[in-house]
Chain A
Amino acid sequence: MVADFSDLEREFPDAVRALRSGPLPNPQSERPSEQLWHSISSAVAQERSGGLRLVDEFDSPNGRDQTRFRQVSSPPMVDDSQRGVGNGINPDFAQSVAEQDSSVVEMAPRRLGRRMAIGFASAAAVILVGIPLALGLRGENSPGLDGAAELAAIGNSSADGEAALTGRTLSVGIDALESAPESSTYELWLLQVDAAGAPVGIEWIGTVDNTATVDQTFEVPAEIDTGLYTVVDVSIEPDDGDLSHSGNSILRGQLTQS
């Protein structure tokens, strides 16, 4: 590199370093397929419809004459426990619905991101309540456990709090909560842990108020088995479009049966 670039290197260090790191690759070496577009647009359409959509001829082996509903499934990539995907719909219940009406199929038990969870929960309610009612059925979810948890601070947080689960209502109280970092929010999660205490499932529950004192209640979506998801976790989530857990938790506690 010639001498008269040293000033530029000081001024634009990252660009100069990357330019010097070798020949630049072709940034358009591959054109995506229409199949990839279809998978993206289908997933977006499903999310927009709040988790339900009428399956079109693409999905139906018999063409348009088959009308059925299908639950949203998030696209495949990371394994479920990494993406905060829970066990989802009670399979016995899903099967009971399918057996009653063979046109209702493919209850893929996967979860959307946290910002879609409200719409998803509404849709799940349609599936879990509306359809069985219409069919004269009654679903049986895992009963779960009513319980309470002390929420202990993690890292540098000075906040503390408690959580209580009654049925599907999760109450959370927090004191001395610091202001969330700029462009971040506090988010509430339920974790499923294995015998060693390592999380094997993460589910988003809702957004926690960014106030010094928090007193909120959340409805736990029906597809989350509260008998398994027993650890309450509050994290800081940057507003970056990534819907998975940031790994930056500030409060956590184990629900114990009350």
Chain B
Amino acid sequence: MTAMICEMVATLEDRLVTGEDSALRDMFDEYGPLVLSICRRLVGDDAEDVAQQVFLAAWRGRLSFDPSKGSIAAWLAGISRFKSIDFLRAKGRRPSTPDEHIADRQAVEPAVNGVVDQMVLASALQTLPPARRDVITLGFYENLSHPEIAARLDLPLGTVKSHMRRGLEAMQRELEGSYGRRLL
């Protein structure tokens, strides 16, 4: 099953880069809920407008997607991040000079980043293999130690540590991927 999903994602990545029409629809079907959920939390009633901007920007900038830097989900979350920042900044005030652009971005960024980071992690957690997901959930949300997790899941301690490390590694990578190159 995991292999099938991986194959499907890889295919979508390929089709995205080559600009096949089906890739846009598949990307919308697969990641529309994530993008819209992020936008809803950040901009409320204007979520659809911002989500539309996210998918248009993603489609126009599809060549900038680099699978080695994270998943499509992380990439789209990153676009959602700066589109929402743009929106919030625009809503809050009249046009600024381009020089003020960065300062304005920085004013709304921390709150946006907190929300997007959590959504990226939540999405990444869902895509982890179940054993890794269980280990991370027990460690972070039930505050169990590694030996306690090992006992609970009836796994060798080394396996628990391996699952924890690889799970966090994947989540860290997704977070980094969601920031892309736009680090204002």
- A interface residues, Cβ below 8 angstroms from B: 1-5, 8, 11-16, 18-33, 35-37, 39-41, 43-44, 47, 75-79, 81-83, 113, 115-116, 154, 183, 191, 197-200, 202, 233, 235, 238-249
- Judging by beta carbons under 8 Å apart, are A40 and B50 in contact? no
Give the residue name and chain of the B residue nearest to A29 (CB): B37
In chain B, residues 2-28, which have Cβ atoms closer than 8 Å to a Cβ of chain A? 24-25, 28
Give per-residue flags for B140-184: 1 if the beta carbon is below 8 A from chain A beta carbons, else 0: 110111100000000000000000110011011001100011100
Cα–Cα, bound, A27→B126 (Å)? 9
| Chain B proximity of A103: nearest CB distance (Å) | 28
- Judging by beta carbons under 8 Å apart, are A12 and B169 in contact? yes
Q: Which residues of B contact A83 (CB under 8 A)?
A: 90
Would you call the interface of chain B mostly helix, strand, loop, or mixed?
helix
Q: Does B72 contact A (CB under 8 A)?
A: no
Would you call the interface of chain A mostly helix, strand, loop, or mixed?
loop
Q: Which residues of B contact A40 (CB under 8 A)?
A: 24, 28, 52, 55-56, 59
Give per-residue flags for B21-47: 1 if the beta carbon is below 8 A from chain A beta carbons, else 0: 000110010001111111011000011
| Chain B proximity of A82: nearest CB distance (Å) | 4
Which of B46, B114, B122 sits near A24, CB closer than 8 Å?
B122
- Judging by beta carbons under 8 Å apart, are A2 and B33 in contact? no
- Judging by beta carbons under 8 Å apart, are A241 and B61 in contact? yes
A-B contact pairs, 10 of them (CB 8 A): A28-B123, A30-B33, A31-B32, A40-B24, A41-B25, A77-B87, A241-B58, A241-B61, A242-B61, A247-B100
- Judging by beta carbons under 8 Å apart, are A36 and B48 in contact? yes
Cα–Cα, bound, A113→B139 (Å)? 46
Q: How many A-B residue pairs have CB under 8 A?
A: 202
- Judging by beta carbons under 8 Å apart, are B37 and A30 in contact? yes
Known: A12-B168, A24-B118, A30-B37. A77 touches B52 (CB 8 A): yes
In chain B, residues 87-132, which have Cβ atoms closer than 8 Å to a Cβ of chain A? 87, 89-90, 94-102, 105, 114, 117-123, 125-126
- Judging by beta carbons under 8 Å apart, are A240 and B100 in contact? no
Cα–Cα, bound, A47→B95 (Å)? 26
- B interface residues, Cβ below 8 angstroms from A: 24-25, 28, 32-38, 40-41, 46-53, 55-62, 64, 79, 82-83, 86-87, 89-90, 94-102, 105, 114, 117-123, 125-126, 136, 139-141, 143-146, 164-165, 168-169, 171-172, 175-176, 180-182
Give the residue name and chain of the A residue nearest to B179 (CB): A14
Which of A5, A21, A31, A202 sits near B118, CB closer than 8 Å?
A21
Which of B53, B122, B176, B180 sits near A75, CB closer than 8 Å?
B53
| Chain A proximity of B70: nearest CB distance (Å) | 12
Cα–Cα, bound, A20→B184 (Å)? 24
| Chain A proximity of B141: nearest CB distance (Å) | 7
Give the residue name and chain of the B residue nearest to A189 (CB): B98
Give the residue name and chain of the A residue nearest to B50 (CB): A77
- Judging by beta carbons under 8 Å apart, are B141 and A198 in contact? no
- Judging by beta carbons under 8 Å apart, are B95 and A81 in contact? yes
